[in-house]
Amino acid sequence: MTESTISVIDLAAQHGMRKQTVFKVLERLGIEPVKRPGNNRTNRGQIIAYISSDDAQRFAEEIRSMTVANRNAVNEDGLNAAIAEQGVFYLLQLEPSHDPGRFKVGFATSLPERLRTLKCSAPFTKVLATWPCKNLWEKTAIDSVTQGCERLHTEVFRTESIDSVRQKCERFFELMPKDKKI
């Protein structure tokens, strides 16, 4: 691309939004990001979505023009509800036969979709358990339930006892507020 571009990741960070929210607003504006491999060590060749600087300006104007009422309506549509976003916290065993102590924990609004993307790199993944969860709780839950585990990657860990991790998850979510919407 010859014109100046910005990644959707950077655009989201600039506006204090989640990537998913940015994508939904871009879609509403009829802006289609161009996807290409990243070129630095932090994104290790992952496909990154970019938009032109002009489109980023249109996006910023749209966000600024939204009234409080419009933003609340956007929240109801799920576009900007990161704090209230509800889903599940999952405990996955990545290679049950080969490496039973290696697991992944995290938050998903759609576990089937999350598993679909994960199965490309970890085809033997097994869902051990899920708990109703808010997106806001994810980092705290991960820090809590992985105490004493070896961190292998962002949300991937190794433990001597996967059952102890499951028990920590159970205890953590027993303490969290129960919300009928979850």
Q: Could you read off the pLDDT of 26-41 as tens digits, one per residue?
A: 988 889 999 988 666 5
Which H/E stretch holds residue 155?
A: none
Does the pLDDT value for residue 82 go beyond 60? no
| Summary mean pLDDT of the chain | 84
Residues 6 or more apart in contact with residue 56 via CB below 8 angstroms: 6, 11
Q: pTM to 2 decimals?
A: 0.57
In the prediction, which pLDDT does 120 show?
83
Q: What is the DSSP letter of 83?
A: T
Q: Which two tokens stand for residue 177?
A: 């507020």
pLDDT tens per residue, range 85-138: 788 999 999 999 999 999 999 998 889 988 888 888 889 999 999 999 988 899
In the prediction, which pLDDT does 124 show?
94
Q: Cα–Cα distance between 44 and 30 in angstroms, integer?
A: 29
Could you tell me which residues are beta bridge partners of residue 3? none
Q: HSE, CB side, 13 Å, CA atoms: give it for residue 104.
A: 21
Candidates 128, 135, 124, 123; CA nearest to 176 is 135
Question: Which of 98 and 43 is assigned the larger pLDDT?
Answer: 98
Q: What mean pLDDT is predicted for residues 157-161?
A: 97
Candidates 45, 36, 43, 46; CA nearest to 5 is 36
CA angle 3, 4, 9 (to 5 degrees): 130
Helices (H), ranges, the chain:
8-15, 19-29, 53-65, 68-76, 111-118, 138-145, 162-175
